[in-house]
Amino acid sequence: MRLRIPRCLMDGQRVTLPAADSEGLVAVTLQLDGARVAAIAADPQASAPAPLALTPLVEPHAHLDKSFTYSAFANPGGTMEGALAANLREFEQRTAEQVHERSERALEQAWRYGLRAIRSHIDSGGGPASEASWQVLLEQQRRWADRLTLQLVALVPIRFWLTPEAETLAQRVAAAGGLLGGVLGPPFGHRSSDALALRALLQLAARLGCGVDLHVDEGDTAAGLGVALVVRTALELGAQVPITCSHASSMGLLSAARCSRLAEQMAAAGVQVVALPRTNLWLLGRRSGQTPWLRAQAPIRPLQQAGVDVAVGGDNVQDPWYPGGDYDPIELLRLCFTTSHLDPWQRQGLAPFTTSPARLLGLDWDGVLRPGCPADLLVLEANSWQQVLARPPQRRVLRAGVWIAGAGSGSSDALTAVPS
């Protein structure tokens, strides 16, 4: 199979390769042996066009329990308050059947679009909807295990971790191999109890050996307040489990000097970040009837420069927090080229979609090609990054050495054959 593959997705220690082109792509031939890559060599016809290929991507932040609910629970004003209110209305009537239908559709699309792992938060504040969502998604985790890794995070307001129910939920999540989460800051605002609640959460997580993934500073005021609290508390307690700050949007409004200082402290505390620009750009910086001028999003580059691992996620898909999206990682990559200046021809531009989320989720495979690695590819009908950016490319997905049938609502013709 003749392909052009980003240099940063090839193991330079194990494969001798020619130099990359101006877009960081290397012309190679891949030989497969069943479900594994047998050999990788320089393409003798390097000057002839060949499809651009990636390894399947990783979605580090989703909400499978509420996907595709926008039409019934709309938020036409596009505000945080409107999103929260609609989400709560939906949660009150959520059933197991609905969660099954939503998650099945989401996983099917994600798999066919070329995702290999998803971390999903689950509304876990209590009641029948929480119970149903966990039961269904744990079952989905088992059903989908040979196609897609699914990690689950308990999402509650941070103050929940000070209530008597905290221990029970944490025990159940730990027994299921999940992560503990919480919302620190908007839309709930910063409260005096936040520090205590966060401390309780981190102590509980350390005792039970659960990773932590917080929704923190999803706002355009109080710049970096929640992230700073996470870092202080993690350093004080000596963080013993992986901690992820999802969003960290208002941190992007700090001055360059304060932003770098905080980023360095995050690196020292081992705190990772999942940036979610799409939802942030829709919900934040709203001024009724005006054009936004404040575009709060995680400061991806300063974080990377400080040594913080940053992944980019799609977050909400057709729910009250964002009416669009489709679990298509290539569309997210195309969007972030513009919104976040993540140039895919740079290692640090592509890593947030590939190797960084693989590391953040602790996946067995880092997504880098070397002999013996999984025969898993996302092959695009484009010969260059510029063509990928020009228009949504058609694609084929190879998993364990087998091409899977294309699908995806609204783009059923988007996955037709490319030369192999």
Residue 269's nearest CA partner among 306, 221, 297, 296 is 306
Q: Of 325 and 344, which CB lies nearer to Zn ion in the complex structure?
A: 325
The residues with which 119 forms a beta bridge, in sequence order, are: 151
Query: Closest CB to Zn ion among 24 and 219?
Result: 219
- 61-92 as b/e: b if 16+ CB within 10 A: bbbbbbbbbbeebebeebebebbbebbeebbe
Q: How many whole angstroms separate alpha carbon 407 and alpha carbon 382?
A: 19
Q: Least distance from C-beta 164 to Zn ion, angstroms?
A: 26
Site string for Zn ion, 269-308 (x = CB under 5 A): ----------------------------------------
Is 220 one of the binding residues for Zn ion (CB under 5 A)?
Answer: no
Q: At closest approach, how far in Å is the CB of 155 from Zn ion?
A: 8
Cβ-based nearer residue to Zn ion, 181 or 242: 181
Q: For 293-349, give the DSSP string.
A: -------HHHHHHTT--EEE--B-SSBTTBS---S-HHHHHHHHHHHS---TTSHHH
Q: Which residues 232-261 are close enough to bind Zn ion by CB under 5 A?
A: none
Q: Should residue 331 be labelled a site residue for Zn ion when binding is judged by CB under 5 A?
A: no
Q: Which is nearer to Zn ion, 59 or 315 (CB)?
A: 315
Select 4 or 66, whichever has its Cβ closest to Zn ion: 66
Query: Shortest Cβ distance from residue 215 to Zn ion (Å)?
Result: 5
Q: With binding defined as CB under 5 A, does residue 194 bind Zn ion? A: no
Helix-helix angle 194-208:166-175, to 10 degrees: 40
Query: What residues contact residue 184 under an 8 Å CB cut-off, 6+ apart?
Result: 158, 194, 198, 214, 215, 216, 217, 226, 229, 230
Within residues 73-132, the interface with Zn ion by CB under 5 A covers none
Q: Does 65 interact with Zn ion (rule: CB under 5 A)?
A: no
Residue 283 beta carbon to Zn ion: minimum distance, rounded to whole angstroms = 11
Per rule CB under 5 A, is residue 218 in the interface with Zn ion? no
Element (H, E) at 142: helix 128-143
Nearer to Zn ion by Cβ, of 23 and 315: the residue is 315
Question: Using DSSP, how many helices (H) and how many strands (E) does the chain show?
Answer: 13, 15
According to DSSP, residue 374 is labeled: B
Regarding beta strands 271-275 and 243-247, do their DSSP bridges make them parallel or antiparallel, or are they unpaired?
A: parallel
**85 vs 407, beta carbon nearer Zn ion:** 85
- The nearer residue to Zn ion, 52 or 230, going by C-beta atoms, is 230
**Residues binding Zn ion: what is the number (CB under 5 A)?**
1
Closest approach of Zn ion to the CB of residue 61, in Å: 6
| Phi, psi angles (nearest 5°) of residue 354 | -125, -90
* Residue carrying structure tokens 């497969």: 32
CB 245 within 8 A of CB 272: yes
Question: Taking CA 334 as the corner, what is the angle to CA 329 and CA 337, rounded to the nearest 5 degrees?
Answer: 125
328 binds Zn ion (CB under 5 A): no
Nearer to Zn ion, 315 or 326 (CB): 315
Nearer to Zn ion by Cβ, of 216 and 253: the residue is: 216
- Residue 109 burial by CB count (10 A; 0-12/13-18/19+): exposed, middle or buried? buried
Minimum CB separation from Zn ion for residue 63, in Å? 6
Report the nearest approach of Zn ion to the CB of residue 408 (Å). Answer: 22
Binder among 315, 319, 326, 376 for Zn ion (CB under 5 A)? 315
Identity of residue 71 = S
Q: 264 by DSSP, 3-state: which?
A: helix
The window from 131-139, 227-235, 311-319, 349-357 that contacts Zn ion (CB under 5 A) reads: 311-319
- Bond into 187 cis (ω within 30): yes
Which range touches Zn ion (CB under 5 A), out of 88-96, 229-237, 313-321, 338-346?
A: 313-321
Min separation Cβ 121 and Zn ion, Å: 5
Minimum Å gap between C-beta 401 and Zn ion is 34
Q: In what order do the strands lie in the sheet with 53-54?
A: 53-54, 377-380, 395-399, 402-404
Strands 271-275 and 310-312 turn out to be parallel
Kindly tell me which of 159 and 278 has the beta carbon lying closer to Zn ion: 278
Q: How far is the CB of 346 from Zn ion (least distance, A)?
A: 26
**Residue at shortest CB range from Zn ion:** 315
Which window, 3-11, 21-29, 315-323, 362-370, contacts Zn ion (CB under 5 A)?
315-323
Q: Which residues lie near Zn ion (CB under 5 A)?
A: 315
